[in-house]
A = this chain, B = another copy of it.
Amino acid sequence: MNIALIGAGNVGWHLAQALQKAGHTITPIYSRSKDTREELAKLVAAQPTASLNLQSSDAEAVLIAVPDAALAAVAAALQVKPGTIVAHTSGSQPLSILDAVHGARTGVFYPLQTFSKSKPVDFTQVPLLVEAQNESTRQQLQALGQSISHTVEAVESGARKQLHLAAVFACNFTNHLLGISRQLLQEADLPLHLLQPLIQETVAKVMQHNPYHVQTGPAIRHDQNVVEEHLQMLQQHPRLQEIYRLLTQSIQATPTKP
């Protein structure tokens, strides 16, 4: 397929490479930043562009991978040939935000994964959640998805939004807690590798069990002495104290038995 890509951030970066690897032609690539669009275009043999008017492009599909907050403005400015598939890659935005794109067959092509440019991603393992304005568009997006991923599912806007909310807890907030734990090790000059088996086991366990049923630690044991001592140790970090207190309360208020 000939695919145009709008956005060359973390998602566009990995998506473009996966699509090219699967044999698709990426062109053009739009990004507001000249350096960014030129860098990614070079990487996947595409043309960079500074224009959102793609009416003279051969693209059969346009994938929009811009920050959620920029999506409405991009949709309003984008111009495509009638009948072109235009899909965004956002977890939280509705399909209808693309109604502004005149003449387009609209859809959603949401890769449920965390992307950083510095970390390669095996796209075959990334679930792709697809939605479209009509059945033929959905089928084409589904086929496009299957060319790069083993897991492609049709999910409508409401369910996708809930999935995205769950992903914020499972990934973004979890990552922040792992950052805090690393900071606490660094402040005490402790070797970072000591926590790695624990982190890996925590995740291995939740692949097989409901996390609520395998909760461990001072909070679930209602070990108030240890909780108080930890809060004391965090007294230089009032925000971390607050997080510690709130998550301890939440663990203690959550039913643990199946």
A interface residues (Cβ-Cβ under 8 A, vs B): 10, 67-69, 92, 112-116, 118-119, 121, 125-127, 129, 151, 153, 155, 159, 161-163, 165-185, 187-188, 190-191, 194-212, 214-221, 223-226, 229-230, 233-234, 239-240, 242-244, 246-247, 249-251, 253-254
Contact = CB atoms under 8 A, between A and B. Distances in A.
A174 B172 contact: no
A116 to B, nearest CB: 4
A35 to B, nearest CB: 18
A115 B197 CA distance: 12
A134 to B, nearest CB: 24
Mostly, the A contact residues are helix
Nearest to A220: B172
Given A165-B230, A234-B165, A115 B174 contact: no
A26 B20 CA distance: 59
Contact of A170 (B169, B202, B214, B242): B202
A127 to B, nearest CB: 5
A117 to B, nearest CB: 10
Contacts of A170: 177-178, 181, 195, 198-199, 202
B218 A92 contact: yes
Contacts of A202: 114, 170-171, 174-175, 178
Given A10-B216, A92-B230, A161-B229, 5 more contacts: A67-B223, A69-B223, A170-B181, A171-B198, A182-B211
Nearest to A184: B166
7 contacts: A68-B221, A92-B218, A114-B202, A168-B219, A173-B244, A176-B215, A199-B207
A239 to B, nearest CB: 6
A216 B224 CA distance: 34
